[in-house]
Amino acid sequence: MKKLVMAAIVVLAFAISVQAQAGISETVWQAIEQAYEPAVWSEQLKSAHKDPDPANFRSYVVVMVGGMAAERAERFISWGNYDYRSVTIDAARGEIKNRRGKAYTYLQPGNVMAVAGLKKYGNTVSIKLISPDVYIPLNRAEDKKFSRVTNTVRMKLPKEAADSNDPNQVISMMSQYLKPFQNIQSAQRFAPSVSQTATATSKIP
C-alpha cells in the first residue's frame, strides 16, 4: 500500500513539474527563431583569437534597457574564449538579474548586438549576444586592450504567453528588452533613437 501511495505521489509531483515547466508553443517558437535568428556557429564566436565573419550573422538586436552585464574575452598573452555571461530577465515582473560577481561592463540602451545563438528551455528563451565590433565602455576608456563583449540573455516568458498561439504578443514583450532587426544597417538606424552612451571601434587592438 505504501508503495502505491509513494508511486502516486511521484506521478503527481512529476505532472505538476511538467505543467510548471510548460514549454513554448511551436507557433511562438517559430516567430522567435525568425526574429532572433542565430548566427552560423564558428570557432570565431567562441574565441576572440580571430574576428568572426560578419556574413555569418543572421540577426541583430538593439538593447532597449540598461542593467545587462557583459564580459570581454579572456586574455593572458593573447585573446582567448568569450564569456557569455548569464543575464536572467523575468519578463512578467520586469526584473533583470545578473550572474554573481563583478561584471566587466553593462550594456547601454542603444547598443547594437549580434545574435550568436538561440535556444529554449521550458518557457525560457536563451539568446547569446556578441557585439559586432570591439566594445569600449566609457568607464574603461583608459584601458589599453579591448575586445568584443558577450553575454547570454535568458528571458523567462509568462507561461500563458509562451504556450499561446499569439507570437506577436511574445515578440512585443521581448522587444521591450532586445528589439530585433534582420540586418545591422536597420539596427544602427534605429539605435540613435535610444539613449546611447557607449562607442565601438572596428578592429581588435
Domain ranges of the chain: 22-201
- Report the pLDDT averaged over residues 25-44: 96
pLDDT band at 151 (very low <50, low <70, confident <90, very high): very high
Tell me: pLDDT of 20 over 60.
no
Q: What is residue 142's predicted lDDT score, i.e. its pLDDT?
A: 80
Q: What is the pLDDT of residue 44?
A: 94
Q: What is the pTM of this model?
A: 0.83
Query: Does pLDDT of 199 surpass 60?
Result: no
Average pLDDT (100-119) is: 95
Res 17: pLDDT? 43
Locate cell 552612451: which residue? 197
Q: How confident is the model at residue 1 (pLDDT cuts 50, 70, 90)?
A: low
- Average pLDDT estimate for 123-138: 95
pLDDT at 205 over 60: no
User: What per-residue confidence (pLDDT) applies to 118?
Assistant: 98
Instruction: Kindly tell me if the per-residue pLDDT of 14 is higher than 50.
Output: no
Longest dimension (CA), the chain: 71
pLDDT of the residue at 22: 64
Residue 75's pLDDT band, with cuts at 50, 70 and 90, is confident
Q: What span, in angstroms and rounded, lies between the C-alpha atoms of 118 and 32?
A: 9
Name the 3-class secondary structure at 130: strand
17 or 170: which leads in pLDDT: 170
State what percent of residues in the chain have pLDDT above 70: 84
Residue 67 has pLDDT above 50, yes or no: yes
CA distance 144 to 72: 13
CA atoms within a 13 Å half-sphere pointing along the CA-CB vector of 137: 17
The mean of the pLDDT values for the chain is 86
Average pLDDT, stretch 160-179? 95
What does the alpha-carbon distance between residue 21 and residue 29 come to, in Å, rounded to a whole number? 15
pLDDT confidence of residue 195: 65
Q: Between the CA of residue 116 and those of 1, 119, 125, 127, 155, what are the distances in Å?
A: 53, 11, 13, 8, 15
